[in-house]
Structure 1
Amino acid sequence: MKTIGIIGGSGFIGSHVTKKFLEEGYKVKVSATDLSNTEKYGHLKNLPNAENLEILSLKVENSEELKNFIDGCTILVHGGTPFQLDFKDAKTELFDPTIEGTKNLLRIINETMGIEKVVFVASVAAFNTNFPLPAGGMDVYESFDENTPAFISKESHPYAQAKYLANKTVEAFIEDHKNLPFEITSVSPVLVMGNSLSKREDSTSTALQFLIKNHIAPNDFIQGMYDSDMALSIVDVEDVADAIYKAANTNGIHGKNYLLVSETYPVSDVRSMLNKLKPKNNPRIVYQNELAKTDLKVRFKPVMETLNNYAT
């Protein structure tokens, strides 16, 4: 039985990734920053095959904890920096855990025997820090794929900038280490929606779906989404988990970064579908998913199915 370590395996996306690997017969290690806070990860113990699950304390900045966590793993998934809109200090809450944590992880992995595959759960911000707005100079519905020049702006949200810079850290590591004994692959989902496996109240994705469904605007950013009827590119959380699983089990994709995306709708249509109503507009394809469909054989659900399922 192979062992996989999933950093951030109890969050909104991570829980689905944990569920997928347990279902496929893996022994799964999941990180927790605070083992005493069982509300963060308790739901994982109700998953099928949870007898093969182990929860370990880990902060990616802590080298000793990281070595202990990685020991015995053949696959490692790093998805430990969840989307975070609100913060008090960008450096300590966003930049340091995301960028310095990535550097530390790469260093420790490179010193660890037995690793075969590393999958980084990046973000569409690795390609465009303005998301969900278009990259500078581009039209809202202009096509964007993995070969489109990446865009970063100091005006973008610090979380997006941190994810962009973390991805550049991974790219630089790959460039500097030509003969690695393991493969590194990244996936970059757009706005992830769908049903949560837990009742955690700290999930930005779950909260955003609730806010849009009920037309609630707790801050200027959300109100601006409604006022402009912002176009949202969406992907189903189960499809993200499937893509991560397939990236971990597909050889010959070292160094690639896959956009994970289904369709794009204005936020007014997203609200309609969250309330099980038909959208007024047809879906648009802005961020492209052909590379993931070709290499990873992912079949992306239509956004209407994702949002209708959430409504149910």
Structure 2
Amino acid sequence: MKTIGIIGGAGFIGSYNTQKFLNEGYKVKVSTTDISNKSKYEHLQNLNNAKNLEIVQLDVENKAELSSFLKGCEVIVHGGTPFQLDVKDPKTELFDPTIKGTENFLGAIQQTDGIKKVVLIASVAAYNTNFPLLPDGKTDGKSISENDEPFISEQSHPYAQAKFIANQAVNKFIAENPKLGFEIVSVSPVGVMGKSLSNREDSTSTGLQFLFKNKIAPNPFIKMFYDNDIQFAIVDVQDVAKGIYQSATTQGIHGKNYLLSSESYKVSDISLMLNHQSPVGKPSIIYSNELAKQDLGMSFQPALATLNGFDS
């Protein structure tokens, strides 16, 4: 039985990753930042094949803990960086754990024997820190793909900037280490939506769905979504987990970073679909998913199917 380590395997996306690999016959080692806080991960004990699950405390900024976590794993999925919109101290809350955590992680995997594949969960921000708005220079009707020059702005949200810089650190590491004994692949999901596998209330993804469903604007950033009725790109959380699994088990894709995206709708239509009503407008494709379809054999659920399943 192969062992996979999933950093952040109890979060919104992480829980689906954990379930996917358990279903596929893996022994799964999941990290948690605080082993004493069972509310963070106890829902994982109810997953299929949970007998093959191990929960381990891990601070990604602690190099000794990180090295210990990686030992014995053939596959590593790193999705343990925080996704939050309300930030008081960007350096402490976002930049350090995201960028330094990624750099520590890259150093640790290089020193760990037995690793065959590493999958990093990046973000659409690796290609466009303005998300959900278009990058500067792009106009409506033009799609964005992996071939486009990545865009970053200092005016973008700190979370997006941190993810962009972390992804650049990954690219630099790959360029500087051409003879690694394992493959590194990244995936960059757009707005991840779907039903949570836990009852936790700290998920930004499910929180955003709640805001859209009830047309709530807790801050100027979200208010801008409604005021401009922006086009918001969506991907189902189950498709993200599938994309990560396919990235982990497909050979010959070292160094690639796949956009994972389904359809884009105006926020007004997303609100309608979350309330089990039909959208007024038609979907568009802002972020291309052709490379993921080609290399990973992916297909993506339509937004309507994803949003109709959200009940909270």
Which bin holds the TM-score, normalised by the shorter protein? over 0.9
1:2 equivalent to 2:2? Answer: yes
- Decide whether the 8 Å contact of 2:35 with 2:57 is kept in 1: yes
- Partner of residue 39, structure 1: 39
CA contact (8 A) 1:129 1:156 kept: yes
Corresponding residue of 2:68? 68
- Is 1:217 the equivalent of 2:217? yes
Specify the alignment match of 1:233 in structure 2: 233
Distance 2:93 2:307 in 1: 30
Counterpart Cα distance in 2 of 1:140 and 1:43: 41
1:27 aligned onto 2:41: no
Supply the distance in 2 between the matched residues of 1:123 and 1:226 (Cα, whole angstroms).
Answer: 23
Contact 2:225 2:267 survives alignment (8 Å): yes
What's 1:294 paired with?
294
Amino acid at match of 1:97: P
1:220 Cα offset (Å): 1.4
Post-superposition shift, 1:83? Answer: 1.7
Structure 1 residue 108 and structure 2 residue 108: aligned?
yes
**How far is the alpha carbon of 1:139 from its aligned partner?**
1.4
The answer to whether the 8 Å contact 1:4/1:27 transfers is yes
Aligned counterparts, 1:99-248, within 5 A:
99-248=99-248
Which AA in structure 2 matches 1:2?
K
CA offsets 1:8-36 (integer angstroms, 9 cap, x no match): 00000000000000011100000010011
**Number of residues paired by the alignment?**
312
Q: Report deviation, 1:311.
A: 4.0
SS at match of 1:310: coil
One-letter code aligned to 1:154? E
Q: What TM-score comes out, normalization by structure 2 length?
A: 0.99
Partner of 1:257: 257
1:82 deviation in Å? 3.3
Residues 1:54 and 2:54 are matched in the alignment: yes
- Kindly state the Cα deviation for residue 140 of structure 1 after the two structures are TM-superposed: 3.6
The runs of 5 or more residues in structure 1 that have no matched partner are none
Whether the 8 Å contact between 2:265 and 2:281 is mirrored in structure 1 is yes
Contact 1:145 1:287 in 2 (8 A): yes
| Paired position in structure 2 for 1:272 | 272
Amino acid at match of 2:18: T
CA contact (8 A) 1:232 1:264 kept: yes
Q: Could you report, residue by residue, the CA deviation over 1:2-60 in whole angstroms, capped at 9, with x for unpaired residues?
A: 00000000000000000000011100000010011111101000001001000001011
Q: Is the 8 A contact 2:82 2:94 kept in 1?
A: no
Q: Which runs of 4+ in 1 moved over 4 A?
A: none
Does the 8 Å CA contact 1:129/1:164 hold for their aligned counterparts? yes
Unaligned runs of 5+ in 2: none
Quick one: distance in 1 between partners of 2:226 and 2:39? Answer: 32
Q: TM-score, normalised by structure 1?
A: 0.99
